Structure 1
Amino acid sequence: MKTATPAMARAINDRLALDLLLEHGALTAPQLREHTGLSRPTVADLLERLQAAGLVEARGEYGEDRRGPNARLYGVVAGRAHVAGVDIRRTGLTVTVADLTGATIGTATRGPSPDLAGTIAAAVREASSGRAVNTVVLGAPGVIHPHTSTIAGGNGVPGWTDSLPASVGAALDARVVLENEVNLAAIAEHREGAAKGRDDFALLWLDDGVGGAVVLDGRLRRGSSGGAGEIGLLDIDGTTFCCAIDPAQVPDLTREELTSRVASGTFAVIAVLDPGLVVLGGTKGKEGGDELADQVEKLVASRSPAVTRVRPSTVRGNAILQGAVLTALDLTRDTIFS
């Protein structure tokens, strides 16, 4: 068994303190000692190191009747780094830029463009008000290979090329990561939505496209080629699941038929994965709310012995954008905090 070196112990303590400051906001040295169990000298040393590294700064004092070093508040330097999340659709794109604490700095939207890389770069610059960004996470439709970041069969987005991430990275001088948009929505659902605190769940995305995402043992699962969760290809009544619930394809679709077809897709997920929870996301999932989720849960329960909750998404706002920003923050913090 390896014994932790002093340098390793310091790194572990520093990261623990930074994570606590991100979770709770500004804290005093005594509060950090209480949360970490570390000694007074150890906390004093790590605060000195983190301030010297430009990661932590003093922010006034805690309480009006307390003065001195123990009353001083310390917080993460929010402007130390910035990240961007991008939700790319066939009809345009939306960008959110956040600081290192996760606070939103700005947003921007653009319509479709043949110069997609240039459009994304311009939107990020607008949302960041000219600030440099460290990491950009692109959320896009399609089966995205987890190792090559190429899309199998294309995705119908105007101006899309396999070199898009590299082109955006070069334009912004930033790290750029490409991820399937439903996977990003699942990350947001896991961290801030209906699946918070769950190790296993599946997200069924019911929007202008139909897809899914899988989280098992607390980890997003992409599959060997990125196709995990692509339930839109499932056969439902002689057509694909994607088309079976699309009003443009089935204009006379009743609420009962929609519920039945969503239940069929949900049952297929449960039969293979037994996730214990299925979240209905996207426009239809959110609009259907508890009523649709409860009806689907009852239909599934009549067919499956596996006890499964079905709940609507509870992520506020754009789940894809939120998942993209969360992913970009994780990557940036791992780099900067190390």
Structure 2
Amino acid sequence: MSQVTETPSSPVGRERSREVKRAAVLSAARSARTLSRVELSEMTGLSPATLTPLVRDLIAEGYLVERGVAATRTGRPRTLLEFDPRVELVAAVSLAPDGVSCQIADGHGELVASGHRNLDGDAVDIIADVVEDVAAEHLTHLRGVAVAVPGISYKGKVRLAPYVGVVEKRSVGKQLGKRLGVPVVVDNDVNLMVVGEHTAGAARGSDDVMLFHFAEGVGAGLVLDGHVRRGSSGGAGEVGFFPTDGAMGDAGVGSFEARWSARAIADVLAAAGHEPAAQSPVATLVAAARKDEELARYRDEVLAAWGRLVVSCICVVDPGLVLLSGSVADLDEHSFATLEAIVTQGAPSPTKIRRAELGGEAVLHGAVSSALSAAGLLARTAG
């Protein structure tokens, strides 16, 4: 914990000096959660005389709450101060073809409220509306927002998100920030999935991991040395554009995802007379393949294509750990073992293959973490 040096001849103005000291007190209280004034003084380097008015103001504003007295072996009992995480809230937003999901979390990442709205109009307006509605009476405590989009995002601008109606560049982050009045992070949904898994899921403790998400589209998120890698223009991980049999993608849809995504699988099943279960064409394929030899061959083709994609990426970045997300969750154990064997046999370097743990919650976990970082409420551990 950094300390503030108090000198009588500070080069900054009085107001700026107070802001720095206030920020140091908040940072210490946020980190410790519960502490005494003596401990607060030790952590910040501020004298009791300086701390007293700052603590008094923060109690009046609701940041700090007095929580009784802590017994000590020597000296007078110390009144404990507790930081209230609900005075600093963030919004995690997931933009998907079926609508906009929003979760409001406090400064400790605990869920406060959630909501969903259909995507039946302008995406930016709908995102802003749902954040304001879900935050409701807590809106004045909102400190940051993170938005997950199924497309390329770079410096708040979104492009190539055809499934939510965005192909050309659009300054989603700037427009939302202007309306909501807080820092806004806009990132690819799979990037946020890998942040979520890295923070609270199957990649905890791993500094190098690549997550592949097979769904309506196909994408990947990459963490190397503990940091998300987005590329020079935000396009890292767009593996849906991996060339298939020499074919290149067009109209914002890559050739690989056009052939091997869950949507493509659903089309093949429909042509074969099998109506996919709701949002689960891979589960339908696995079940049908047990009785239909032609679909069994097609299932094996899907697994081989997915495996080749993963191996190709391992050859380039050597992540050590690969997480498989999305439609992979609908594979039975035999099919998953087949895919795992394809990857482990084809990869040039030792690689662990695991299913992602968080499912649909991964993107929101990652968005909460990113929003906390954007608001300066959390140390950046994932880029």
Contact 1:113 1:159 in 2 (8 A): no
In terms of mean alpha carbon deviation, does 294-303 or 192-201 score higher? 294-303
Aligned residue runs from structure 1 range 126-145, under 5 A = 126-130=133-137, 131-132=139-140, 133-144=142-153
| Cα offset, 1:126, TM superposition | 1.7
Aligned residue runs from structure 1 range 167-316, under 5 A = 167-236=175-244, 240-242=255-257, 243-246=259-262, 247-251=265-269, 254=296, 255-282=299-326, 284-288=327-331, 294-315=337-358
Q: Distance in 2 between matches of 1:292 and 1:18?
A: 50
Question: 1:51 aligned to 2:51?
Answer: no
Contact 2:90 2:371 in 1 (8 A): yes
Q: Distance in 2 between matches of 1:76 and 1:136?
A: 21
| Cα offset, 1:173, TM superposition | 2.4
- Residue by residue over 1:51-73, the C-alpha shift from the partner in whole angstroms, topping out at 9 and shown as x without a partner, is 3462443334569xxx9644x54
5+ residue gaps, structure 2: 7-16, 248-254, 270-284, 286-294
Contact 2:5 2:46 in 1 (8 A): no
- Residue by residue over 1:154-197, the C-alpha shift from the partner in whole angstroms, topping out at 9 and shown as x without a partner, is 53424787143333223322222211111111111110011111
Q: Distance in 2 between matches of 1:195 and 1:261?
A: 24
Aligned residue runs from structure 1 range 15-34, under 5 A = 17-18=28-29, 20-21=31-32, 26=34
Q: Distance in 1 between matches of 2:176 and 2:22?
A: 33
| Cα offset, 1:152, TM superposition | 3.7
Helix, strand or coil: the match of 1:170?
helix
Helix, strand or coil: the match of 1:128?
helix
Q: Distance in 1 between matches of 2:261 and 2:128?
A: 35
Among all aligned residue pairs of Structure 1 and Structure 2, give the percentage whose two residues are the same amino acid.
28
TM-score, structure 1 as length reference: 0.79
5+ residue gaps, structure 1: none
The structure-2 alpha-carbon separation of the partners of 1:11 and 1:50, relative to structure 1 and needing over 3 Å to count, comes to closer
Matching residue of 1:108: 115
In terms of mean alpha carbon deviation, does 54-63 or 318-327 score higher? 54-63
Contact 2:325 2:359 in 1 (8 A): no
Question: 1:87 aligned to 2:90?
Answer: no
Question: 1:6 aligned to 2:5?
Answer: yes
TM-score, structure 2 as length reference: 0.71
- Residue by residue over 1:14-40, the C-alpha shift from the partner in whole angstroms, topping out at 9 and shown as x without a partner, is 57744643xxx545679x69xxxx969
The Cα RMSD (Å) is 3.7
Contact 2:64 2:83 in 1 (8 A): yes
Q: Distance in 2 between matches of 1:92 and 1:328?
A: 20
The structure-2 alpha-carbon separation of the partners of 1:189 and 1:290, relative to structure 1 and needing over 3 Å to count, comes to farther
Q: Distance in 2 between matches of 1:191 and 1:153?
A: 27
Helix, strand or coil: the match of 1:117?
helix
Q: Distance in 2 between matches of 1:155 and 1:89?
A: 10
Helix, strand or coil: the match of 1:250?
helix
Q: Distance in 2 between matches of 1:40 and 1:319?
A: 34
Q: Distance in 2 between matches of 1:176 and 1:312?
A: 30
Q: Distance in 2 between matches of 1:316 and 1:13?
A: 37
Q: Distance in 2 between matches of 1:171 and 1:112?
A: 19
Number of aligned pairs? 320
| Cα offset, 1:151, TM superposition | 3.1
Q: Distance in 1 between matches of 2:88 and 2:94?
A: 21
